[in-house]
Structure 1
Amino acid sequence: MSEPTSKKKPRPARTERVAMPSGPNPRWLAPTMIALFLVALVYLVVAYLFNMQWPLPIGNWNLVVGFTFAIVGFGLATRWK
């Protein structure tokens, strides 16, 4: 009887993880993040109250503008330590 001749595939080389530079948050990060969240909230509330005709007369695209402010705020929140 012959032994099985199965060959194992070589494992790919592991990649090194690059550490984020650790340090304090920039001073502008938290105030900007909070301001973007508040602008998004106020923008969306005003747009709903005025049937999407104010602050800009662009209809339902006001939702896109308001949520864009919120998404940018969340993007900054991911950098906060």
Structure 2
Amino acid sequence: MARTRPTTKPEPQRQSGDSVPNPIWFKPVMFGFILIGLVWILIFYISGSQLPIQSIQAWNLAIGFGIMLVGFLMMTRWR
């Protein structure tokens, strides 16, 4: 008596260009960076250049824009 094997379809192999969905934490982290950078800049302007870090003065703007830039760079990888 011959044994029959169950026929299964082989899984298609993914190409490197296939879009794989992002993990669940990606969107909140991305928008979090953008909002934290925006809040950093707003606090700097509203406080009259006294906050968040008084000793670095206008570099607070660079820090705020840098944090926002991380969020915007993450946005290019959002699927």
In the other structure, the counterpart of 1:69 is 67
Indicate the residue corresponding to 1:38 in structure 2: 35
Task: Tell me the matched-pair count.
Answer: 64
RMSD: 1.5
Distance 1:49 1:24, change over 3 A: same
Q: Which amino acid aligns with 2:29?
A: T
> Are positions 1:47 and 2:44 aligned together?
yes
**Which structure carries more helix by proportion?**
2
Aligned-pair CA distance for 1:75 = 0.5
Structure 1 residue runs of 5 or longer lacking an equivalent are 1-17
Larger Rg: 1
Q: How far does residue 36 in structure 1 lie from its aligned partner after superposition? A: 0.6
Point out where structure 2 has 5 or more consecutive residues left out of the alignment.
Answer: 1-14
For 2:58, the equivalent position in structure 1 comes to: 60
> Percent sequence identity over matched residues?
39
* Runs of 4+ with deviation above 3 angstroms: 18-21
The aligned amino acid for 1:27 is: I
TM-score by length of 2: 0.73
- Separation of aligned partners in 2, 1:20 and 1:70: 28
